């Protein structure tokens, strides 16, 4: 694999980071001292191993890390595309509560892509999710602070905030699913009867007043879950890398059924063979006592020729027949 030139600043920081372990401390957000201690110890060891692996330009050694097996596999897959170096040797952060357990945000890193053509911001933050007993569940590249604020600012209740935290977790994980080419995680989050709608812009030649003109319009195709996964699997096999990033995230709770949420994201897709921009809509259900699940996924290009889609032209949750509560 051809290496990308590492940033000079990264080399400078590595020299100072190699000799020291990372000390992570939780300042507030959790009362259970035993769980808190396990979280602090596990995160400290994990971040120390990340920096040592980055400094030594080697694979991660996670056997001795207090982390779920699925999380280890996911992080190792991400590491093949991106190496990252934690910037501070002493980190103090607050603990956030989620439906699954706990979340630690704002662990800033310097990023070094490992695949030619896979460009990324030079600095990214990590999000670490933990189970209720304090074991590390996963590590992902965090959404931006602006995305986080937009998702959380309209939370109306404790339940709503918890669900928005789950949605944010998915937005952050979704990027990692593509980095890692993790088809199984994508499979699990969609319902078996999910409907996938994809828009394309074919070019058709029409004539007006004997003048040649081009007419563009979005054509939509509908797929079931298995068709969608089959196409996605082929994409994974065809590309050396797939990088997905999101902006302009909007979360809307359905007015007639508060268990359904529409999540609209402006998506930039870049792979080794293809690049595009468009609007992604995911419609979530949060059934009582069960894991949340996606019933609809739509994608449409963000422009038709020189015309950028207006907000009214972007598909949203109100375009679907959502069941009302009894």
Burial 184-209 (b: 16+ CB within 10 A, else e): ebbeebbeeebbbbbbeeeeeeeeee
The 3-state DSSP class for residue 188 equals helix
- Which letter does DSSP use for residue 66 in this model? -
Distances (CA, A) of 141 to 120, 123, 222, 257, 281: 11, 10, 31, 32, 21
> Which residue do the tokens 């054509």 mark?
219
Q: How far apart are CA 126 and CA 319, in angstroms?
A: 35
- Residue 120: the pLDDT is 59
Q: How far apart are CA 115 and CA 283, in angstroms?
A: 33
- Residue 50: the pLDDT is 94
- Residue 6: the pLDDT is 43
The 3-state DSSP class for residue 2 equals coil
- Residue 155: the pLDDT is 58
Q: How far apart are CA 148 and CA 105, in angstroms?
A: 11
The 3-state DSSP class for residue 193 equals strand
Closest CA relative to residue 296, chosen from 223, 200, 217: 223
Q: How far apart are CA 74 and CA 163, in angstroms?
A: 23
Q: What is the pTM of this model?
A: 0.65
Q: Is 164 exposed, middle or buried (0-12, 13-18, 19+ CB in 10 A)?
A: buried
What is the mean pLDDT for each group of 10 consecutive residues in the chain (326 residues)? 42 48 93 96 96 91 94 87 88 86 89 67 84 93 63 64 78 80 90 90 52 58 94 92 83 89 90 90 88 91 85 90 81
- Residue 289: the pLDDT is 76
- Residue 153: the pLDDT is 64
Beta carbons within 8 Å of 68's beta carbon, 6+ residues apart: 131, 135, 136, 137, 138
């Amino acid at each position: 694999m051809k290496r990308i030139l590492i940033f000079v600043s990264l080399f400078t920081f590595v020299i100072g980071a190699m000799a020291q372990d990372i000390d992570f401390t939780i300042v507030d957000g959790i009362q259970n001292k035993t769980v808190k201690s396990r979280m602090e110890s596990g995160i400290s060891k994990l971040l120390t191993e990340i920096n040592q692996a980055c400094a030594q330009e080697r694979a991660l050694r996670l056997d001795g890390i207090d982390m779920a097996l699925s999380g280890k596999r996911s992080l190792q897959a991400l590491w093949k595309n991106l190496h990252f170096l934690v910037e501070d040797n002493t980190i103090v952060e607050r603990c956030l509560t989620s439906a699954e357990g706990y979340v630690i945000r704002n662990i800033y890193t310097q990023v070094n892509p490992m695949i030619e053509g896979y460009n990324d911001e030079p600095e990214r933050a990590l999000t670490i999710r933990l189970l209720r007993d304090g074991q590390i569940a996963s590590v992902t590249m965090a959404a931006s602070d602006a995305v986080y604020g937009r998702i959380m600012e309209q939370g109306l209740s404790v339940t709503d905030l918890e669900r928005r935290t789950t949605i944010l977790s998915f937005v952050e994980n979704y990027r990692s699913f593509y980095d890692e080419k993790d088809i199984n995680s994508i499979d699990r989050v969609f319902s078996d009867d999910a409907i996938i709608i994809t828009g394309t812009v074919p070019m058709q030649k029409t004539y007006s007043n004997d003048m040649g003109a081009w007419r563009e319009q979005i054509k939509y195709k509908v797929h079931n879950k298995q068709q969608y996964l089959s196409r996605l699997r082929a994409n994974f096999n065809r590309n050396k890398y797939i990088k997905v990033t999101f902006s302009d995230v909007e979360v809307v709770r359905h007015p007639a059924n508060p268990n359904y949420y529409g999540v609209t994201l402006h998506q930039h897709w870049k792979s080794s063979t293809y690049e595009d921009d468009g609007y992604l809509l995911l419609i979530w259900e949060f059934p009582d006592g069960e894991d949340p699940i996606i019933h609809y996924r739509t994608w449409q290009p963000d422009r038709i020729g020189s015309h950028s889609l207006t907000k009214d032209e972007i598909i949203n949750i109100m375009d679907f027949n959502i069941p009302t509560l009894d």
